[in-house]
Amino acid sequence: QQQVKQSPQSLIVQKGGISIINCAYENTAFDYFPWYQQFPGKGPALLIAIRPDVSEKKEGRFTISFNKSAKQFSLHIMDSQPGDSATYFCAARGENFNKFYFGSGTKLNVKP
């Protein structure tokens, strides 16, 4: 059973548009929620992260919205650019600050 559920599986957005990727979790013990960006042939790279005591975090064009009561969080990419085309993974940190549970990934294609 997947601990973190991510949607959509793929997303096509026009340049300048807003990309939204959603994740949901069940385990209320999760204490840290990062998003990773992965380009083809590369390893995932930490993009932005949030803790459950904060409802929103913004870094440049990237924003995480966090809804603790609904156990959902989402990544918003404003003014999406072709260079943002990549696979995005949400994750949640579990026990002992070691175990990260990843969503299944969203392949984003930003069309010029």
Contacts to another protein by CB under 8 A? 2, 4, 6, 9, 32, 34, 36, 41-46, 49, 89, 91, 93, 96-105
Considering beta carbons, is residue 6 or 80 the nearer one to another protein?
A: 6
In terms of Cβ atoms closer than 10 Å to its own Cβ (0-12, 13-18, 19+), residue 98 is exposed
Provide, rounded to whole angstroms, the least separation between the CB of residue 42 and another protein: 6
Q: Which residues contact 48 (CB under 8 A, 6 or more apart)?
A: 34, 35, 57, 59, 62, 63, 64, 75
Closest CB to another protein among 35 and 110?
Answer: 35
**Which C-beta is closer to another protein: that of 77 or that of 92?**
92
User: Could you identify the residue written with the tokens 């064009």?
Assistant: 61
